[in-house]
Structure 1
Amino acid sequence: MSYPPPSGPPEDEQPPSPYEPPRDQSPYAPPPAGQPPQPDQPAYELPAERSPYGPPGDQPSYGHQGPQQSAHWSQQPPYPPQGPYGQYGPPPAGPGRGTNVLAILSLVFAFVFPPAGAVLGHVAKRQIRTSGEDGDQLATWGLILGYVFTGLTVLACCGWLALVAFSNTGDSGGY
């Protein structure tokens, strides 16, 4: 089977494109002496001055797949895509590294029922020493506040009793 010959000799080239420099001239060379440079483009470009986006929007992009970008040569390149967000917050608790529950309760009970806060603080400190859990400062503050509020409560009760006792020492017989 024979194919028809091509419609023209293989040496025929397409007419030169106005967007490409002549093949015998380097793209970095200045234009010939008789030809002024184009006003929108410099006479020559250094490789560092070339846009990472390809030619400007008024020129076609050769071999570029995807949407046409009309970025100016001095425009800042886009930011790289952001990676996935990391996990924030305290690190995961390892074996035996949680906060002691009795230490938390000692601080809470120091305000609610102070003697219980002091007792729970002592028990929590003993557990923390043996298990290595966190919460030593919570237990210490539970102890301190438990004793302080217990002392203030005892003083308030003694003051109230003294007030009642002194108020009944006057006339008891009336007029």
Structure 2
Amino acid sequence: MGIPLSLTVNGQVVNVDVDPRTLLVQLLRETLQLTGTHVGCDTAQCGACTVHLNGRAVKACSMLAVQAQGGVVTTIEGLSQDGALHPMQAAFRECHGLQCGFCTPGMVMASVQLLQDKPAASEQEIREGLEGNLCRCTGYHNIVQAIQFCQRGSVAASA
């Protein structure tokens, strides 16, 4: 027996019945086929599952889907608008802020939140702000550069 759930995902109203134990990440990936949100650890340690819920970055592997009832969820797929990359996505591309790409969706979503909260974040504050997101490939140098690139508005200037 499922629980009726209604929420908005990437601008689309979604009405589904979910098992009460369904995690938000499972709803996104398995039910809605939004596979850009990754599952890396199932313990909220890596941040690969980061999405925005009601304008705040959350780890979708540590939330039940029913906790998002009535909420607005944005995934990496919904971050771009009208076919144009979000400035943070463009900055990650421009600065090569990825290697294998597994952490990238969560890293981008966390980075957007980071600059919303602290637009003038220093390099140290950026590094601290990303502590909940792990990258096993890059050493974070290009990720930090991408955030700084976006911060400076260089994406708009280079487009």
- TM-score, normalised to structure 1's length? 0.21
Give the structure with the higher percent strand.
Answer: 2
> Which fold has the larger relative contact order, with Cα–Cα distance below 8 Å and residues 6 or more apart in sequence?
2
